[in-house]
């Protein structure tokens, strides 16, 4: 290879590198007009006030809770503790797509909010919410009463066996899990 050819190849590579850098700088200098708009219009404020997450956050600050209006037009009074549960669930999601899906689901109606509360992604928020409410992630809601009573009886027998025969205490993990299941079944029986 001749010296002239090497020089031409290096010069061509330098020119291409410089063109790429100029293209990157040009992209960075372009500003989207939507990024400049920092003022919210009346329509923006109205749509934000109808957002269930915003209503729930307002309810967290109010000791009496808040009256939440869903997209289907129904209203529901939410106490402060319920607002805390929904907000903790929303905050537990790390991915924006999952947050958006959850938000869209709870905006629809109260029954869709109950089903959305069963979506899981993060273990930390799940344990907090489960400790606060027997309705959270309750697979027994909607089951037949006769089946619920059979399951409840079965869990109570298992609990008694653990206490009497295996000499377990109420502080043991197995016993706590059985008691939680009984609480969830009791809650499902009340709502059925």
CB neighbours of 189 closer than 8 A, spacing ≥ 6?
145, 148, 149, 152
Phi, psi of 62 (to 5 degrees): -95, 125
In this model, does residue 128 exceed pLDDT 50? no
In this model, does residue 191 exceed pLDDT 60? yes
- Angle (CA) 116-117-118 rounded to 5° is 85
CA distance 60 to 158: 39
What is the per-residue pLDDT for 122? 47
pLDDT in tens, 48-65: 677 888 888 888 888 888
In this model, does residue 119 exceed pLDDT 50? yes
What is the per-residue pLDDT for 39? 72
Mean of pLDDT over the chain:
78
Domain ranges for the chain, please list them: 46-137, 139-192
Higher pLDDT, 134 or 62: 62
What is the per-residue pLDDT for 120? 63
- Collapse the DSSP code of 38 into the 3-class scheme (helix H, G, I; strand E, B; otherwise coil) and give the result: coil
> Mean pLDDT throughout 140-160?
85
- Collapse the DSSP code of 66 into the 3-class scheme (helix H, G, I; strand E, B; otherwise coil) and give the result: strand
**Rg of the chain in Å (alpha carbons):** 28
pTM of the model: 0.43
What is the per-residue pLDDT for 155? 86
Strand bridging mode 75-78 / 66-69: antiparallel
In this model, does residue 126 exceed pLDDT 70? no
């Amino acid at each position: 290879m001749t010296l002239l050819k090497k020089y031409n190849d290096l010069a061509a590579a330098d020119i291409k590198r410089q063109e790429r850098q100029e293209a990157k700088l040009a992209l960075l200098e372009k500003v989207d007009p939507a990024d400049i708009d920092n003022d919210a219009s009346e329509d923006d404020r109205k749509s934000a006030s109808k957002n269930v997450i915003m209503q729930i956050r307002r309810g967290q600050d109010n000791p009496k809770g808040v009256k939440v209006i869903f997209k289907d037009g129904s209203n529901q009074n939410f106490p402060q503790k319920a607002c805390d549960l929904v907000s903790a669930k929303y905050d537990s999601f790390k991915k924006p797509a999952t947050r958006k899906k959850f938000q869209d689901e709870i905006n629809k109606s109260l029954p869709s909010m109950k089903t959305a509360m069963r979506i899981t992604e993060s273990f930390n928020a799940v344990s907090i919410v489960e400790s606060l409410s027997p309705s959270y992630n309750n697979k027994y809601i909607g089951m037949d009463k006769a089946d619920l009573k059979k399951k409840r009886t079965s869990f109570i027998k298992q609990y008694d066996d653990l206490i009497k025969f295996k000499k377990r205490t109420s502080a043991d993990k197995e016993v706590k899990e059985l008691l939680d299941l009984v609480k969830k079944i009791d809650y499902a029986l009340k709502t059925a």
